[in-house]
Amino acid sequence: MNPQLELLHPYPFEKLRELFADITPSAAHSPVALSIGEPRHASPPFVLETLAGHLDKLANYPATAGIAALREAIASWLTGRFQLPGVDPERQVLPVNGTREALFAIAQAVIAPGSGASVICPNPFYQIYEGAALLAGAEPVFIDCLADNGFIPDFDSIDEAQWQRCQLLYLCSPGNPSGAVLPLETLQQLIALARQYDFVIASDECYSEIYPDEGNPPPGLLQACAAMGDTDYRNCLVFHSLSKRSNLPGLRSGFVAGDADLIGKFLRYRTYHGCAMPLHHQYASIAAWGDEAHVVENRRLYRQKFDAVLGILGGHLDACRPDAGFYLWPATPIADTDFARALLRDANVTVLPGRYLARDAGRGNPGEGRVRMALVAEPAACVDAAERIVDVIKGL
């Protein structure tokens, strides 16, 4: 067996099951799960119809690179959404089976074996970044995301020796769990560092389409490149998904786009990996990427829930509206694990302790004392959960 497997931490939800093993949820309440970021809004009917209408394609093997029409739909969406002068659908776009598997696989493709490489990522973080680094034989290096810096990673804390060892930098903007958005200027500074020290930036932008202000969408890494006059997107890759944008987590559909040389090499890796997207999923994805009306409605529902929930929690829990995404990241009145247990026991509400999303990189665990709440359920359920949370807090 690969000895690196022994380095993998239990996934956050494994830890959550252990934390709750001796808890009997309140029988007076129906369960409300705010712990997992699985969208619960209705999937777009026209996407489901397209999916069903192409089931005959199950008789065909799909190509790893995807069909031209899908790459063109993705390139068109990217160009319009991020104000890009152009994206080459043949060389700069690669469909993937959701961002999770691609974010993991990119580390296996770009890390040089036995090189003593490091992979830098935010802390708290999506645990796939850490696991990908470890199984690629690299050392994860964590940058704490703290409230006093607006939950933006303090990239100035990385010294020159650490940048020299870095072969891959994971970004997450909007951030999970905080929703913090990296400014365009920060992205451009990181692009300059990537080219100076020759590392790859993998920018996880899967929450980019959930934001409060229709006139102010979060910027992206390729957008930062284009603003610098660069359409080669050298050293830069972005990862997008239909899971959050279009409420299609089960479709497992996303893409990677950017540096054509990196995309070409990643395609070669994936051809051996055997992870081509099924053709009926590709046609459904074309329909989803080509429509914005359902995404606008999706944002409206999230705004409605944030307005209602924050109105209830205000004065009781240190929670604020995120820059983007669908999570609340509040400070807790007691230890985050104790708070999570109390909410399940007394209110049948499930949240995720912040410490399970972070590591102690030498300055304490930056997730301790916070919980992640995913406002993914229907509005009435989120409101009900918020009222129960207030009742629990009053009884502490």
pLDDT per position as a tens digit, 164-199: 999 999 999 999 999 999 999 999 999 999 999 999
- Going by pLDDT thresholds of 50, 70 and 90, the confidence category of residue 98 is very high
pLDDT in tens, 125-152: 999 999 999 999 999 999 999 999 999 9
Alpha-carbon distance values, 138 to 165, 167, 238, 256, 340 (Å): 10, 9, 21, 22, 33
pLDDT at 28: 94
pTM, entire model: 0.97
In sequence order, which residues have a C-beta less than 8 Å from that of residue 322 and are 6 or more positions away? 174, 178, 179, 180, 328, 329
Between CA 340 and CA 15 the distance in angstroms is: 12
Q: Give yes or no for residue 285 having a pLDDT over 90.
A: yes
Task: Find out whether 97 and 248 touch, Cβ atoms under 8 Å.
Answer: no
Judged by average pLDDT, the poorest of 47-51, 110-114, 257-261, 265-269 is 110-114
pLDDT in tens, 365-375: 999 999 999 99
> Concatenated DSSP letters for 267-289?
HHHHHHHT-PPPHHHHHHHHHHH
- Give me the amino acid identity at 173: S
Between CA 354 and CA 322 the distance in angstroms is: 16
pLDDT at 65: 97
Q: Give yes or no for residue 221 having a pLDDT over 90.
A: yes
Percentage of residues in the chain having pLDDT higher than 90: 97
Q: Give yes or no for residue 252 having a pLDDT over 90.
A: yes
Q: Give yes or no for residue 115 having a pLDDT over 90.
A: no
pLDDT at 188: 98
Task: Find out whether 82 and 219 touch, Cβ atoms under 8 Å.
Answer: yes
pLDDT at 100: 95
- Write out the H or E segment, with its range, that includes residue 95: strand 93-96
pLDDT at 274: 86
pLDDT in tens, 8-63: 999 999 999 999 999 999 999 999 999 999 999 999 999 999 999 999 999 999 99
Between CA 176 and CA 205 the distance in angstroms is: 10
Q: Give yes or no for residue 327 having a pLDDT over 90.
A: yes
Q: Which domains does the chain have, with CATH numbers?
A: 3-42+294-394 (3.90.1150.10), 45-291 (3.40.640.10)
Q: Is 345 helix (H, G, I), strand (E, B) or coil?
A: helix
Averaged confidence pLDDT in the chain? 97
Q: Give yes or no for residue 6 having a pLDDT over 90.
A: yes
pLDDT at 114: 86
